[in-house]
């Protein structure tokens, strides 16, 4: 095993959305040496970046993936894509750039997390974005590293234009900016892409920061465990080119994502005492919340075979439009979402698109566990076991099915192939469908949630500092108390901005 010695001031584990933002912000201080570790490869130049990472018209599904699976509902297994590359999941995802509702962050703060209310996080959201469509709006930024735009009508595919028109026919308002804090209704998706180019963390944050001599990007290093001296974290042990390597630092920031962050903690002896003991690992800190509180967006897919095969182009943008609205009787604004997806299936199969009903505010919780220190995480979402979730998602499915029966989008549909109309279309039928077939929106979070030390389920405090240990910070989707009402990529950037700025401007709070 090689040992680098105390080489770094700040060592960040995970070069995804949050980790890259932290590395970029902290390395603005030339007096701090910063190491950014990533399990996957690094493509330092855009000209060397593979097409699956550049092409934002569709996700990258295999070449830069961890190969994880998950259990969305009891007895089912499915693949759970996560980016394994510098840029993390921001380098492989759909490039949807939604913020969530102001109430999400106010609720985070109300749970005892000072500094995370909407008024506190809005400056970070503005700082991270370069919004090309609404640069002068008081709630938008115009000079950040992540460029955001929306498809104009002239670039919209026919099925997306029809979806937005149908929504208007159903009395949903037109929403030009889904990131307007007061907005709702149907309109174009805000997206962090320029033509085909995906503006990932690697492109937006790291490309300009690479010029700094105090920033060291270290790819192909999968962290096995944290190094602890008593209750103080002093570095990490990782695998590099088939060898174990020890890297030491004054402060370790764990930003490996909602799935791998709890895995690293458990391997390091940090978690519920009984779970750590079952792994054969010496207990470093009894933190029962590690791996618990898994929150995500349950969703279904209404699959439609189309009348005109020319509508389906697998080289076109996979998504362009969105509808956000509130479930009847709900006090959670915009807790439902419907998205038009441009195509479904595979080339050569029946020409189809899908419409996705999504539950945006989730009450239920799942958990992540480990069978052994060398195993992949076991992810059990337990979607729709909470009746409140099941009821609202089922209602959203019925609202989605209306698009297939009435209006301009319905005129494109030859048949609905899922859910099978022959199996019944009542509310109770759809609830049963949700309990059996709900799947992930691929927005896991909450597995190392932040909260005051009095909260027995909290893992870190409101600054990301680990309860019960020193010089260890967690800053990624895992610290979210619950999933915001939005795809989580922009929120992960925001978390990186918040923690990165605290580290840069208030280093003494982190023992630096």
**Where in the sequence numbering do the catalytic residues fall?**
443
Helix (H, G, I), strand (E, B) or coil at 403: helix
Name the strands in the sheet holding 129-131, side by side, starting at the edge strand that comes first in the sequence: 129-131, 146-150, 190-191
Counting Cβ atoms within 10 Å, is residue 508 exposed (0-12), middle (13-18) or buried (19+)? exposed
Of 26, 279, 322, 46, the closest CA to residue 167 belongs to 322
Peptide bond into 216 cis (omega under 30): no
CB atoms within 10 A of CB 467: 19
CA distances in angstroms from 211 to 14, 85, 146, 195, 201, listed in the order given: 20, 20, 18, 26, 16
- Assign residue 208 a region (left: φ > 0; alpha: ψ between -120 and 50; beta: otherwise): alpha
3-class secondary structure, 477? helix
Q: Is residue 378 classed exposed, middle or buried when 0-12, 13-18 and 19+ CB atoms within 10 A define those classes?
A: middle
How far apart (Å, rounded) are the C-alpha atoms in residues 249 and 226?
11
Give yes or no for a contact between 264 and 287, defined as CB atoms under 8 angstroms apart: no
> Are 459 and 448 a contacting pair, CB within 8 Å?
yes
């Amino acid at each position: 095993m090689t040992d680098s010695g105390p080489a770094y001031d700040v060592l960040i584990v995970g070069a995804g959305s949050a980790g890259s933002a932290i590395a970029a912000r902290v390395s603005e201080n030339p007096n701090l040496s910063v190491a950014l570790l990533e399990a996957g490869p690094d493509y330092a130049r855009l000209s060397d970046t593979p097409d699956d990472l550049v092409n934002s018209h569709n996700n990258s599904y295999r070449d830069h993936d961890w190969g994880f699976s998950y259990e969305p509902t009891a007895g089912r297994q499915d693949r759970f894509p996560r980016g394994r590359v510098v840029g993390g999941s921001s380098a492989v995802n759909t490039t949807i750039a939604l913020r969530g509702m102001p109430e999400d962050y106010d609720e985070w703060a109300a749970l005892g997390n000072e500094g995370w209310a909407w008024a506190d996080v809005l400056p970070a959201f503005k700082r991270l974005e370069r919004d090309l469509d609404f640069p002068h709006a008081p709630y938008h930024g115009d000079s950040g590293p992540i460029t955001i735009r929306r498809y104009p009508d002239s670039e919209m595919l026919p099925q997306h234009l029809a979806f937005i028109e149908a929504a208007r026919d159903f009395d949903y308002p037109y929403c030009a900016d889904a990131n307007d804090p007061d907005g709702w209704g149907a309109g174009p998706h805000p997206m962090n892409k320029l033509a085909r180019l995906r503006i990932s963390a690697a492109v937006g944050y790291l490309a300009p920061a690479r010029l700094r001599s105090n920033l060291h990007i270290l790819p192909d290093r999968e962290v096995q465990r944290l190094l602890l001296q008593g209750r103080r974290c002093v570095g990490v042990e990782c695998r590099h080119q088939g060898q174990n390597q020890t890297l030491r630092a004054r402060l370790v920031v764990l930003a490996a994502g909602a799935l791998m962050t709890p895995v690293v903690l458990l391997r390091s002896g940090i978690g519920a005492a009984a779970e750590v003991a079952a792994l054969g690992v010496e207990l470093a800190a009894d933190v029962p919340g590690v791996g618990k509180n898994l929150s995500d967006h349950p969703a279904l897919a209404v699959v439609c075979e189309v009348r005109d095969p020319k509508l389906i182009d697998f080289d076109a943008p996979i998504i362009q439009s969105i509808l956000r609205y509130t479930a009847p009787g709900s006090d959670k604004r915009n807790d439902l979402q419907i998205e038009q997806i441009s195509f479904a299936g595979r080339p050569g199969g029946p020409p189809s698109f899908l419409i996705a009903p999504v539950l945006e505010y989730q009450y239920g919780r799942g958990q992540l566990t480990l069978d052994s220190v060398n195993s992949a995480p076991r992810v059990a979402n337990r979607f729709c076991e909470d009746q409140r979730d099941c009821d609202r998602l089922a209602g959203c499915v019925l609202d989605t099915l209306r698009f297939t029966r009435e209006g301009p989008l319905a005129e494109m549909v030859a048949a609905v192939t899922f859910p099978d109309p022959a199996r019944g279309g009542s509310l109770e039928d759809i609830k049963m469908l949700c309990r059996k077939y709900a799947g992930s929106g691929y927005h896991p979070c909450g597995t190392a949630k932040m909260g005051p030390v009095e909260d027995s389920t909290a893992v870190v405090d409101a600054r990301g500092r680990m309860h019960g240990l020193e010089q260890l910070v967690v800053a990624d989707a895992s610290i979210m108390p619950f999933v915001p009402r939005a795809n989580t990529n922009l929120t992960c950037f925001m978390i990186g901005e918040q923690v990165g700025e605290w580290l840069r401007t208030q280093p003494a709070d982190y023992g630096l």
